[in-house]
Amino acid sequence: MGFKEDLNLVGNDFSFLGMFFYVGFLAAELPTQWLAQRISFLGKYLGINVTLWGVVLACHAACNSYAQVAVLRTLLGIFEACVAPILVLIICMWYKKQEQGKRVACFYVMNSFTSVAAGLIAYGASFTKSSFASWRIFLLCMGLVTVVCGVLVFLYLPDSPTKAKGFTDEEKLAVLLRIKDDQSGTQNNKLKGYQMLEAVSDPKVWLVVLSVMLISIPNGALSIFSSLIVNSFGFSAQETLIVGVPGGLLSGFWLLAVQYYSDKTQNRTLMNLCYLLPAILGLALMVGLENREKTTAMKTGLLISNYLSQTFGGTLALILSWNASNVAGHSKKVLVNALTFIAFPLGNIIGTQTFQAKDAPMYMPGKAAILGCLSLQCFITVGWYFLNQFYNNKKQRVLDEMDPEQRETMRRQMEFSDETDMRNPFFRYTK
């Protein structure tokens, strides 16, 4: 669309622009999580950030230099840092464990479906003959749509079940009662030090952090360089915009299907393999077929392998579902979400630098790094499954030692106590 040419981007400038977004994201993550814990207006805070994100995106259309885009990319990261963590917190307030995976999938799948819409809009904009470049038209349109969405979020997204407009007191109570058996606590704007200490000493939390890091490295690379990779298959710049659309549809529907079965089977960890294995296969095919002559059949094969490689993105949605289902205590949830979304930009920053200009157009070292990260994550996923099982068995042994009356009294005390998962013997980890 002329973006690199109009801004005179050379060498690794494109990689660094991708990185600046995650630098802003990383810088804002802890402050925005602190605010999310302290304020009670989560829906409005989210709406303000989404609106500002849209304004900044629209401002990209006025950029004429690398420095201007770098500043705006950093601001995009700052305003996006709160989005997914707040959505996870809100989902925890409204839905049972067995319902949370599908709800997390519903917001996370928009990454895939938005890439479909963006590809179609970009393809249409690429036919423009005006002096206003097609990439400027595209970013302006996407920014303005986001502003509208942000305003709607501000006006209509409830901050919590107890503050939902249009609900009677009985209906608000019903929402709270339906999730009480999850033993996951409720919103609490007081920071609890012991919960935060438990978060940083919990081995399961660090497996989450490591997993997010390993998944984010491929994400940072492919989210920035996917169009260049497809272009290297022998497609023109304009064709690249449209042939990427089926990949977004495939990854989106695959994400929803796997999350549905994750909720149905109450298995968050091993279902991750359904995301990882097709992506590993796709990347392996990409590496193996890259040096072949670019016949029509070979280009089709490379394109299909690229579509398969995109399925790994659902792993992050499943990890967010794990956070929603398997962490109790509001302060602990907030810190775990913060650690998760600190690992996310760190991994993405590394990912943007795995694809270097000197490796173009095949970017073999970058593809090999992605393949290694996803393969390692498969082994971590299996270990994660057995660790959850170990803790569930340990909790059951504690309960077995109590008499029935003592057990029932403690259960009632724990239902809305905002206690952590490790301290609550009734809490069960979704494996």
Residues 49 and 153 sit within 8 Å (Cβ to Cβ): no
Separation CA 84–CA 49 (nearest Å): 12
CA distance 183 to 200: 21
Comparing C-alpha atoms, which of 283, 296, 287 is closest to residue 234? 296
Instruction: Measure the CA–CA gap between 77 and 74, rounded to whole angstroms.
Output: 5
CB 18 within 8 A of CB 224: yes
| pLDDT the model gives residue 188 | 58
Which residue ranges in the chain fall short of pLDDT 70?
A: 1, 37, 180-189, 415-416
Mind giving me the DSSP string for 376-413? HHHHHHHHHHHHHHHHHHHHHHHHHTS-HHHHHHHHHH
Query: Quick check: helix, strand or coil at residue 187?
Result: coil
Cα–Cα–Cα angle for 308, 310, 315, rounded to 5 degrees = 115
- Nearest CA to 286 out of 321, 319, 270, 310 is that of 310
Q: What is the pLDDT at residue 189?
A: 61
pTM of the predicted structure, to 2 decimals = 0.80
Q: What pLDDT does 135 receive?
A: 87
Q: What is the 3-state secondary structure (H, E, C) of 102-152?
A: HHHHHHHCHHHHHHHHHHHHHHHHCCCCCCCCHHHHHHHHHHHHHHHHHHH
Q: How many helices (H) and strands (E) does the chain have?
A: 19, 0
Domains of the chain: 3-414 (1.20.1250.20)
**pLDDT at residue 54, as a whole number:** 96
CA–CA dist 388, 205 (Å, integer): 11
